[in-house]
Amino acid sequence: METSQANAAWSFEAAAPRACGSGVSREQLTARLGESAARASLGSGLAALTGYVGASHYLLARHDLSQDSGLDFVICSDWPFDVVRRLSGIVAGLNTKSSELEKCLATLQPCFLPMPHDVDLPRGASRSYCAVTFNVGRRRFLLMLLFPEDVILSREGLRDIAVLAGYLVSLKAEIAGRQERECDLTERELECLLWIAEGKTSEEIAVILGISRNTINNYITSVMRKTGTRTRSEAIAHAVRHNLV
């Protein structure tokens, strides 16, 4: 505990040149977060966390959605638009390289990654960015921070703000609501997926759920249509990858 506090204090001093990072104690920080939670403003809460840890810009994204189509997975950010536009390229590598197990083990462990060379960053910003993942329920989020060149961020500080970011996100109903629409699967469809992932055949599921085999097959077809998958195997893989079963 002593060491982590010392580190936090130290990273803080390093950030002192920056106006918004100066003189905020953890106590004041939580008070400020309480305010932004009450006002339902995720941005101001994230900005407070960013300033607290000594970074300059935040970006919060879903880390479990396909990053192919547009920027829908970005939830909230004050990064320069030009950098955000390049984001799918920046995080794509981050996402595909690791398995689910590696992702589990990396939760709340901040890492520092280089920006591609051709990305224009704000003046004075470090060429690397910090990324940390956290989970809110079944959803996995990615918090990415830009920070000034001359600042060294403390790992404990980063872990703390990732925990706090998780608290903030969980209090935001609209982000949770967005999730429901994304995986538009019905209870029955999810139940079928669950049994199929356990290796049950349509016939067996029909007996378990007490409905006809054709109905089961209709559910699966509907799942494949909604998830844009071509085979049963892919539909199950999609469900496992997205923590639906």
Partner 1 sequence: MVRIPIDGRFDDNGRAVGNGRGALAATLVTRLQAMQRQINAKSFAVLRVSGGGVVLARKLTCALSNWGASSEVNAHELISVYGEELLQHLDRAPLPVLWDGQGEHQAADASDFAPFTHRLKGRKLSYSGIGFPIRLGARGNGYVVFTGSYIDVSGEQIVDLHGRSAHVMTDMLAADEKQPVKAEALTDREIACLQMASDGHISEEIAEKMGLSVHTVNAYLGAATTKLDSVNRIQAIAKAIRLGYIN
Contact between 209 and partner 1 per CB under 8 A: no
- Quick count: other Cβ atoms within 10 Å of Cβ 31? 12
Strands (E), the chain: 57-62, 74-77, 111-114, 128-136, 139-146
Among 11, 15, 33, 129, binds partner 1 (CB under 8 A): 33
Q: What is the DSSP string of 46-59?
A: HHHHHHHHT-SEEE
CB 244 within 8 A of CB 235: no
CA 154 from chain centre, in angstroms, equals 20
Contact between 41 and partner 1 per CB under 8 A: no
CA distances to 11, 13, 27, 125, 127 from 151, in Å? 8, 9, 22, 10, 12
Among 215, 217, 218, 243, binds partner 1 (CB under 8 A): 243
Contact between 96 and partner 1 per CB under 8 A: yes
Torsion sign, CA atoms 213, 219, 221, 224: negative
Q: Determine the interface stretch with partner 1 among 67-75, 81-89, 180-188, 230-238 (rule: CB under 8 A).
A: 230-238
Coil vs helix vs strand at 120: coil
Total residues interacting with partner 1, rule: CB under 8 A: 57
**What are the tokens at 142?**
């990615």
Contact between 65 and partner 1 per CB under 8 A: no
The minimum distance between CB 177 and partner 1, in angstroms, equals 13
CB 139 within 8 A of CB 242: no
Among 3, 19, 70, 102, binds partner 1 (CB under 8 A): 102
Strand-pair partners of 59: 77, 144
Contact between 37 and partner 1 per CB under 8 A: yes
Query: Closer CB to partner 1, residue 69 or residue 99?
Result: 99
**How far apart are alpha carbons 185 and 221 in whole angstroms?**
12
Contact between 85 and partner 1 per CB under 8 A: no
**Angle, helix 202-209 to helix 187-197, in steps of 10 degrees:** 130
Contact between 179 and partner 1 per CB under 8 A: no
Q: Determine the interface stretch with partner 1 among 13-21, 53-61, 113-121, 191-199 (rule: CB under 8 A).
A: 191-199
Contact between 135 and partner 1 per CB under 8 A: yes
Q: Determine the interface stretch with partner 1 among 16-24, 67-75, 144-152, 189-197 (rule: CB under 8 A).
A: 189-197
Contact characters 145-164, partner 1, x per CB under 8 A: -----------x--xx-xxx
* Interacting residue ranges for partner 1, rule: CB under 8 A: 1, 4, 26-27, 30-31, 33-34, 37-38, 96, 98-105, 107-109, 134-138, 140, 156, 159-160, 162-164, 166-167, 170-171, 176, 194, 196-199, 201, 229-234, 236-237, 240-241, 243, 245
